[in-house]
Amino acid sequence: MKPTFQNCCQKQIKTWCSKKIIMPID
């Protein structure tokens, strides 16, 4: 699954959030 930008931030994945990248969860 590819989380949305909001989901990324909710999960506190700062690397993704700061870069505003939508990436799959490993």
pLDDT in 10s for each residue of the chain, 26 residues = 565 555 555 555 555 555 555 555 55
Quote the pTM value.
Answer: 0.16
| Helix residue ranges, H only, the chain | 5-10, 14-19
pLDDT of residue 17: 58
pLDDT of residue 4: 59
List all residues 6 or more positions away from 17 whose beta carbon is below 8 Å from its beta carbon. Answer: 5, 8, 9
8 DSSP 8-state letter: H
pLDDT of residue 15: 57
Give CA separation, 19 vs 1, 11, in Å.
19, 15
